[in-house]
Structure 1
């Protein structure tokens, strides 16, 4: 007996991204559902009434399981999900199926403008950012924390906070690091304005960031909640933004405290980062300098999702650098490949610490999918 659901795909404002969205939706669902459920349902792109959709077909022999009860929440959390329809009855060939809308539990805690209102050159697509967060969380042994706010998420190259805002909408209390002071100031201004406009009770505290007398930059701490009582009782959300070089964050945060790491690595085209005391445009050098510090912050059961430009960072090079830092690259080359523009051929690298308790299971999942890249 098969249970079939259709995840309607939300339109993307980015025309180029929209062309790749179908294949990316399949790839994301394979990893997210496979990691959460322990097996991968049959997945394919489908069109219903002229709307693009992802078909998810599960065979369960007529016996409902706890995992299947959670399927709706997982499907609704996929980055491109607009809604979920269950196929109540398949009609004869050439006719439309009978569909039943599925009621989905809410996973987002704040309005969409937290992610969409801030615009600037080079901003990462919100749907793509949501996918990175989902993938890193799925690889973590503490993946359930994505839905109850307990997942500790770090973006060590956070720019103007696209990933941080996604994490906040999910109810998380994220950590970020960014070396560019202009970006840090811009994000502080945006977030404080957004909190005021939406009448959240909040506090913002900016202090100097020092290590053994050396000033590295600034530290922004934000706490907020819908009600004053919740904020006073410590039941609000918290955000920490370190305005410093990503290679130094291992000295500033507690070791083994992060469950999921999400980063959009410099593409070597218009992005830069500081490594070895100087501005670098080589993503490989940035990754080599930063990965050991990142690894020191990760729990053994953590997951990583790194966006890269295949034109400037080869898959085998990234695998070697990650391995040197005690991280195992799982995703095959091109698993999430899609074009951004003429100079950026983007992919996603999924990795875990080498001593991750589910490393072999996740590696087997990657091997099963290696021939099915989008």
Structure 2
């Protein structure tokens, strides 16, 4: 790569998130590009004509796959457009291929209190996928992704747009049913070929909850071409997913932990309200489902879950946290000071290389 590429940053519908997006997408780009392409790319923030952007250049004497770079830049959570820097004051538009298969409104049309920002969801998915040794599955639909606390499906919808067949789980029956209703309506509105069914989720005679399975494709031609997808939603306790899903079957886990409200896991006769207790109960199960070469992107509220406590809970489950405290820190509102922890199995075959990417976050390119 001898050129420089500019990725213009799209604004967010959320004003607060837009204000924080610069450092977040810079960190995202350094992790994602570093994991996929190696440390041969330098990324910095830049303002062009009053518009915020990322400038990406290869390090001296480094060779980078330009097509893969353009695709990765196009998938970053806030990318609005790509340009090659053709000279002083000159920008040439780039057409990057995209694996996104479905219309944008699959992610944006559903609104409800507490919904995770779509751009932040895309960031989490990109980060978790980049940590996997099977990260290339993000481009051909073969990456296995689990959201063990999926709520009303923001992460699942992002994964569907990427061509994946994701699995979600949530203990809240209302959320599970709300997602089923939304997805059914969306598929009918867009005239997709689809089937949706819900059955009892029973293990050894015990009913754990429900299983909803949706199969979908834009049309018959896509079905015949092998482009049909599935999304599975398990209405059950996240800590019991190991009884339902196969061990070491997941490449990437994306979770937005509860922020100190009712959510997540039954225990001791009630519903756990403590994010730390939820993490302690569930982390071992998540690790058992994750392949040794898999990765986790975990969003947390610093007000209710201390970084060191989260690190210890994950370590007890055989997971190593790669990111430092505050690596993706940003304010959501007065009660939520959000951060992202990236973690991998402690025996991950690329642990040293991934851990070295943390140092890239301290760089200030000239």
TM range (shorter): over 0.9
- Counterpart for residue 79 of structure 2: 81
Aligned 8 A contact 1:168 1:174 in 2: yes
- The size of the alignment, in residue pairs, is 363
Structure 1 contact 8–82 (Cα < 8 Å) conserved: yes
Cα deviation 1:115-143 (Å, max 9, x = unaligned): 00000000000000000000000000000
Mapped partners of 2:165, 2:263: distance in 1: 27
Shift in Å, 1:361: 0.9
**Structure-1 residue corresponding to 2:322:** 330
Q: Does residue 219 in structure 1 map to residue 217 in structure 2?
A: no
1:113-128 alignment, distance < 5 Å: 113-128=105-120
- Would you say 1:12 and 2:12 are equivalent positions? yes
Tell me which of 230, 242, 263 is aligned to 1:272.
263
Residues 315-361 of structure 1 show CA distances to partners (whole Å, capped at 9, x for unaligned) of 11111110110100001110000000001100000000011100111
* Separation in 2, partners of 1:324, 1:341: 31
Structure 1 stretches lacking a partner, 5+ long: 91-96
2: CA distance between counterparts of 1:264 and 1:192? Answer: 24
Aligned-residue offset at 1:40: 5.3
Structure 2 SS opposite 1:70:
helix
Q: Please say if 1:179 is aligned against 2:171.
A: yes
How far apart are the structure 1 equivalents of 2:215 and 2:67? 34
| Residue range with higher mean Cα deviation, 319-328 or 234-243 | 234-243
Residues 29-75 of structure 1: per-residue CA shift (max 9 Å, x gap): 010001011115222221112211111122353x754x333110111
Change (3 A) 1:215 1:232: farther
Greater mean deviation of Cα atoms: 67-76 or 203-212? 67-76
Counterpart among 148, 166, 174 of residue 158 in structure 2: 166
TM alignment of 1:205-244, pairs within 5 A: 205-228=197-220, 230-231=222-223, 235-244=227-236
* Alignment match, 2:34: 34
Q: Judging changes above 3 Å, is the alpha-carbon distance between structure 1 residues 39 and 214 closer, same or farther for their aligned structure 2 residues?
A: same
- Cross-structure match for 1:94: none
Question: 1:247 deviation in Å?
Answer: 0.5
Give the direction of change, closer, same or farther, for the CA distance of 1:284–1:354 in structure 2 (3 Å limit). same
Q: 1:227 Cα deviation (Å)?
A: 2.4
C-alpha distance 275-367 of structure 1, shift in aligned 2 (>3 A) = farther
Are residues 54 and 371 of structure 1, via their aligned partners in 2, closer, same or farther at CA, if it must alter by over 3 Å?
A: closer
How many angstroms apart in 1 are the aligned matches of 2:77 and 2:99? 12
Counterpart of 2:69 in structure 1 is 71
Contact 2:202 2:208 in 1 (8 A): yes
Give the match's secondary structure for 1:273: coil
Q: Are the equivalent residues in 2 in contact too, given 1:335–1:370 (CA < 8 A)?
A: no
- Cα distance, 1:234 vs structure 2: 5.9
Matched, 1:204 2:202: no
Aligned partners of 2:362 and 2:184: how far apart in 1? 44
Give the deviation of 1:370 after TM superposition.
5.4
Find the counterpart in structure 1 of residue 238 from structure 2. 246
Tell me the equivalent position of 2:50.
Answer: 50
Structure-1 residue corresponding to 2:59: 59
Change beyond 3 A, Cα 1:40–1:271: farther
TM-score by length of 2: 0.96
Structure 2, unaligned runs of 5 or more:
none
Shift of 1:367: 3.6
TM-score, scaled relative to structure 1: 0.94
For 2:350, the equivalent position in structure 1 comes to 358
Structure 2: distance between partners of 1:252 and 1:355 = 24
